[in-house]
Copies of this chain bind each other. A is one copy, B any other.
Amino acid sequence: MLKVLYADREGVPATDRGLAYGDGLFETIRMCGPKAVLRRYHLNRMVSDAERIGIKVGYAELDQELTRATSRLMPAGRTDAWILKMILTRGSGGRGYRPPGSAQQHLVFAAAAMPPMPEPTGVVVRRSRFPLTVNPRLAGIKTLNRLEQVMASSEFTGEEWELIMSDTTGDLVEGTRTNLLARVGDEWLTPPVSSIAVAGVMRQYVLECLQKVGERVVEQTLPTAIDSLPGFRGLYLLNSVFGIVAVRSFDAHDLPVDDALATICDPIETLE
């Protein structure tokens, strides 16, 4: 059974396992007025990630609470973009790390302002010096264990829109808050879920779009010298708040930018 908490109204019990161990999940949802962009994708991911870490929660109850939270947190008549964050934790209890046999999960809602959108002509990115390690059993799950992304983000100088993290072999796997997609020849390359910390819902949506129109997608990590791949045509960052963001400069190398994806996927603000 869920206990729902609103960040603007109350705190989280200090015994919450989300705080103690990062024992939980989160979703950051772009809202257009009352509409949650990629709603089903977010809810489906939270339900399936919860199952992978043994937190029992159903789609219907999350869906219902998201509707309630939207009414409560959205100023009346609002139609512009805002952000709704959902945190699901295993609740309190258990013996140390050992999860409790049954617990009341906590579901925390917080509203935030929409951040500024990146330049449509493309963004500047750089490689992070902070490596990403991925536990094979937790790969792709949007858990509350995000200190690696925090540490990588502390390298932002103000010149980059995103920092790209490498695995321990040096291959590019993921931005701090975005998934990677490269266009090379007639193929699209993206690091596989097994190599990434968070399998984003925008990544899933874009891959579905590509498959629907018969484009060829290859799941592999990307070499550091990405623009030296024969036939390299562009690098894109995928994020459920910002949509598809083209990279125009990577580690001070200019990259080509094309708008092929814009003809394949719908604009983010129109997505259900």
Query: Interface residues, chain A, CB within 8 Å of chain B?
Result: 5-7, 10-23, 26, 53-54, 87, 89-90, 95-99, 108, 110, 115, 130-138, 143-154, 156, 168, 176-177
Q: List 6 A-B contacts (CB under 8 A).
A: A11-B14, A19-B87, A22-B22, A95-B115, A137-B151, A143-B147
Are B19 and A12 interface neighbours, CB within 8 A?
yes
Question: With a CB–CB cut-off of 8 A, which chain B residues contact A11?
Answer: 10-14
Shortest Cβ distance from A28 into B: residue: B96
B14–A147 CB distance below 8 A: no
Which of B99, B110, B150 makes the CB contact (< 8 A) with A153?
Answer: B99
Would B147 and A22 count as touching, CB distance under 8 A?
yes
Chain B min CB distance to A239 (Å): 10
Q: List residues of chain B with CB within 8 A of the CB of A131.
A: 135-137
Q: Determine if A21 and B146 form an interchain contact, defined as CB atoms under 8 angstroms apart.
A: yes
In contact, B19 and A16 (Cβ under 8 angstroms)? yes
B148 touches A147 (CB 8 A): no
Check B87–A150 contact: CB distance below 8 A.
no
Complex: chain B residue closest to A90, CB-CB: B150
Q: Nearest chain B CB to A156's CB is how many angstroms away?
A: 6
B176 touches A148 (CB 8 A): no
Min CB–CB distance A158 → chain B (angstroms): 10
Smallest CB separation, A15 vs chain B (Å): 6
Q: Which chain B residues border A16 with CB–CB below 8 Å?
A: 12, 19
Residues of B within 8 A of A99 (CB): 150, 153-154
Q: A10-B11, A11-B11, A144-B22 are in contact. Are A149 and B110 (CB under 8 A)?
A: no
User: A176 and B133: CB pair below 8 A?
Assistant: no
A135 to chain B: closest residue by CB: B133
Residue of B with least CB distance to A85: B20
> CA separation between A95 and B194, bound complex, in Å?
27
Q: What's the least CB distance linking A234 to chain B, in Å? A: 25
State whether B26 touches A20 (Cβ < 8 A).
yes
Contacts of A133 in B (CB 8 A): 133-136
Chain B residues closer than 8 Å to A153, beta-carbon distance? 96-99
A151–B14 Cα distance when bound, in Å, is: 21
- A20 cross-chain contacts in B, Cβ below 8 A: 26, 87, 144, 146
Are B176 and A97 in contact, CB atoms less than 8 angstroms apart? yes
